[in-house]
Structure 1
Amino acid sequence: MARRSTDHDVLDRVHGLNEARLQRDVTPWVVPSAENLFFSGVAGLDGIGEEINAEWVRCEPMGLSRPKPDFTVGLRRSAFRNEELEKLENYGTPQNPFYFTPDLSFPFLICEAKTGRIRIDQADTQNIHSASIATKAIVSLYVAAFGREHEKTKALLGRVLVFTVSDNNRMVNLYGHYAVAGMNSSDDDGDDTVDSYQYFRYDIAIFSLSMYDGRERFRAYNFVRNLYDRFAPQHLERIREAVGSVQRPVPHTGLSFAASDIGLDEGSSQQGSEAIASQENAVFRTPSEPASASQKRDMANMKGQLDKLLRQLQELGQHSRDKEERMERLMEQQKMESKEQLEQLTGVISRLQELMDTS
């Protein structure tokens, strides 16, 4: 008769194997997939998205390396209204990120899985880096919206804004991450800054996957489910509150454009269709016209500006050449005058010498 495998068999089997096996076989026990739950019919998760081994290409790291968590949960584009997206896309920079990957914004749950007891400490360290960036992003948004000294910004300090999970085939570490104000409250000019904030973690729990006959095996799973049900809506509302006070973007005029407008942004090709759809209800609507007509007009405008710039450069060059010629003539004239003065002075000295000799 075939032997039926147990959960203990799975934990023993993945011990010493690579991280891919650990992530495939064990991590789903620890961190449930929000998108799989949504596809299964769980309500209230449509605005939550996730990434697997996705590099955070749209944010500035706080260390030498760029985060690439094993599993990240955050907010999808559909979680925001059109006017909120318009503000956030105008606000977002690598220093003040909105999107962390091309499809995920404001992460609130980060997971790293490592094999062995020693490497779980490495998972903790990686999570600290990633969570600090994610926490800083929320604080930065509040500073931009309300200012550093506002009560809403101060209310964020000491509050857990991001959670992390580190696991191997035996244990699970749960942490909460938060920010506190540093010693310096502003820069030299007295402007608001987030550089002086410091970021810490809070130990929530350590669970065993194998001890106590596996009684703790799904405690982390249940904790994460509660995050999806209770924390994620608060996380979204917290961000919306700040976005409501962020300054509205100024519509582009002339040839002012961002790099993402011409396809230099990695995510622009994936987000293009969504961005066009969102314009239907936007405040500043783009006129409907053939793409070729718009391109020809833009090319004509650009050619006109380039021609004007070329003329200015030519005029500047001619002016420089005229100035050089005038300087050369002036120096030659001064040289001639100096020569004449020297000859006159030499004559006077000679006559004085003759007078002295006759006397």
Structure 2
Amino acid sequence: MSHLLAKKKSTASLRPKNSNSSLVTGSNTPTDQESRDGKSAKYRSATYETVLATKGSFMRKSDLGITDRSKGICKELLERDQPVPKHTLFRDDTFDEFCQRLQGKNKSRVIQDISRVIVPSAESLAVDGAKNLKHLVESVNEQWSSSIAFCGPRPQPDYAVGFGRSAFTEDQLKTFEPFLGYDPDTYSSYFLATFYMYFPFLTSEVKGTAALDIADRQNAHSMTLSVRGVVELFKLVGREEEANREILAFSISHDHRTVRMYGHYAVIEGDKTSFYRHPIKTFDFTSEEGKDKWSAYTFTKNVYDIWMPDHLKRIRSAIDEIPRGVSFDLSQPGLGLSRSNAPSFLDEDDSQPSQASFVGSAEVTPNTSFTQQTQQVLKRPRRQK
């Protein structure tokens, strides 16, 4: 889709470049990196759920629900056994006292003490011998500054997991380059979170004494961007039915005692795409002598081991079907299609593209979907040099 091409960031959102290299570090400047408490301000009101809904993202199940296939996968992710770490304060002889000491503590303390036994680190598992996770990368409290915004400021999850560049072949990256941009300091993309994270599929938000509903709203926002990227890729190659009502991402919200786990998916009805979440499990891991204390940990590991490989295969296969030899020019501000071939389809503020920006294209009508608009451009013959 033409609107999926990498978009040049507005001047205000550009990070100052390091004199040695724009990719020397993944750190963010204070202007785009909020504190853990400050970043959640916009999510504190329940009205944010209404704001999301007006954009087509709903914090509930759809009437149609998820596919039977996704239901079966969720069941397997919950039930498949996984080895759990032995040397943690979640062991039987320390668990009760450990949980008591966390009562009333702030978010930073909860993250420090238990977050990695609720949601294990993908990169740490890879370093510790899980070679099947070598292509995964993670971010911690880092703004998704390379994403294209969906609703307000970009997400900044406490923890996120997606694919690194090594997950794709050089040919796939070359084919996909017009949709990613040549310089992550300059371009944003539907398929990136941070400049090093492609197709994020898991986020975790943590609270201390604050309500978990705030964490749920943060996760819903982040995962809308995640699901949107996968759906748009499959629309681009005419395989959107493979993504319809399938869980394409997961989120976990937790505090010092309660965990909420969700799957996120899209419902595609013609040109309309809406985003929903599927409740997988909610529980108090301190109850019943800690019977469920490892449930989130094993679920997350199963996402990594069982669900993730198939998800990556689907993404790779879709990228392989993107037409080769299409000429793009990302040097122009706003979008990247050669100005002689097509108009700029994206607004200057890094927000959702507006259909009004298609005025001036003889092939586009007000009822033409973004998918159709892009396919029209992709089908145009390459100009002879």
* SS of residue matched to 1:26: helix
**CA deviation digits over 1:143-183, x for unaligned, max 9?**
1222xxxxx3112111100000000001100000000024x
Matched, 1:177 2:269: no
Q: Shift in Å at residue 97 of structure 1?
A: 1.8
Q: Shift in Å at residue 14 of structure 1?
A: 2.6
Summarize the Cα distance change of 1:219–1:252 in structure 2 as closer, same or farther, 3 Å threshold.
closer
For residues 119 and 87 of structure 1, what CA distance do their matches in structure 2 show?
Answer: 44
Within a 5 Å distance, the mapping from 1:54-93 to structure 2 comes to: 54-92=142-180
Aligned match of 1:211: 287
Amino acid at match of 2:295: R
Whether the aligned pair in 1 keeps the contact of 2:250 and 2:261 (CA below 8 Å) is yes
Unpaired runs of at least 5, structure 1: 147-151, 187-195, 260-359
Aligned match of 1:127: 219
Aligned with residue 254 of structure 2, among 161, 167, 172: 167
Whether the aligned pair in 2 keeps the contact of 1:96 and 1:140 (CA below 8 Å) is no
* SS of residue matched to 1:56: coil
Amino acid at match of 1:74: G
Whether the aligned pair in 1 keeps the contact of 2:160 and 2:204 (CA below 8 Å) is yes
Aligned match of 1:141: 233
Aligned match of 2:367: none
Q: Shift in Å at residue 74 of structure 1?
A: 0.7
Amino acid at match of 1:100: A
Structure 2-normalised TM-score?
0.58
| Fraction of identical pairs, as percent | 32
User: Considering only aligned residues, what root-mean-square deviation do their CA atoms show, in Å?
Assistant: 2.3
Q: Shift in Å at residue 249 of structure 1?
A: 5.5
Whether the aligned pair in 2 keeps the contact of 1:73 and 1:108 (CA below 8 Å) is yes
The structure number with the bigger radius of gyration is 1
- Which of structures 1 and 2 has the larger relative contact order (alpha carbons within 8 angstroms, sep 6+)? 2
Summarize the Cα distance change of 1:251–1:60 in structure 2 as closer, same or farther, 3 Å threshold.
closer
Aligned match of 1:15: 103
Whether the aligned pair in 2 keeps the contact of 1:98 and 1:105 (CA below 8 Å) is yes
* SS of residue matched to 1:64: coil
Whether the aligned pair in 1 keeps the contact of 2:146 and 2:188 (CA below 8 Å) is no
**CA deviation digits over 1:74-133, x for unaligned, max 9?**
1011110001111222123778522210111101111000113x5211000111111111
Within a 5 Å distance, the mapping from 1:286-325 to structure 2 comes to: none
For residues 110 and 198 of structure 2, what CA distance do their matches in structure 1 show?
Answer: 26
Matched, 1:102 2:102: no
Larger helix share, 1 or 2: 1
* SS of residue matched to 1:197: strand
Q: Shift in Å at residue 7 of structure 1?
A: 2.3
For residues 325 and 146 of structure 2, what CA distance do their matches in structure 1 show?
Answer: 20
Amino acid at match of 1:107: P
Q: Shift in Å at residue 252 of structure 1?
A: 7.6
**CA deviation digits over 1:288-330, x for unaligned, max 9?**
xxxxxxxxxxxxxxxxxxxxxxxxxxxxxxxxxxxxxxxxxxx
* SS of residue matched to 1:99: coil
For residues 68 and 10 of structure 1, what CA distance do their matches in structure 2 show?
Answer: 29
Matched, 1:49 2:142: no
Whether the aligned pair in 2 keeps the contact of 1:207 and 1:219 (CA below 8 Å) is no
* SS of residue matched to 1:100: coil
Whether the aligned pair in 1 keeps the contact of 2:139 and 2:161 (CA below 8 Å) is yes
Aligned match of 1:28: 116
Q: Shift in Å at residue 235 of structure 1?
A: 1.2
Amino acid at match of 2:177: E
* SS of residue matched to 1:246: coil
Q: Shift in Å at residue 250 of structure 1?
A: 4.9
For residues 223 and 233 of structure 1, what CA distance do their matches in structure 2 show?
Answer: 15
Q: How many residues align?
A: 238
For residues 128 and 101 of structure 1, what CA distance do their matches in structure 2 show?
Answer: 18
For residues 106 and 38 of structure 1, what CA distance do their matches in structure 2 show?
Answer: 19
For residues 95 and 47 of structure 1, what CA distance do their matches in structure 2 show?
Answer: 22
Amino acid at match of 1:26: I
For residues 107 and 122 of structure 1, what CA distance do their matches in structure 2 show?
Answer: 20
Structure 1-normalised TM-score?
0.62
For residues 152 and 132 of structure 2, what CA distance do their matches in structure 1 show?
Answer: 37
Whether the aligned pair in 1 keeps the contact of 2:192 and 2:200 (CA below 8 Å) is no
Matched, 1:226 2:299: no
Aligned match of 1:268: none
Q: Shift in Å at residue 247 of structure 1?
A: 2.4
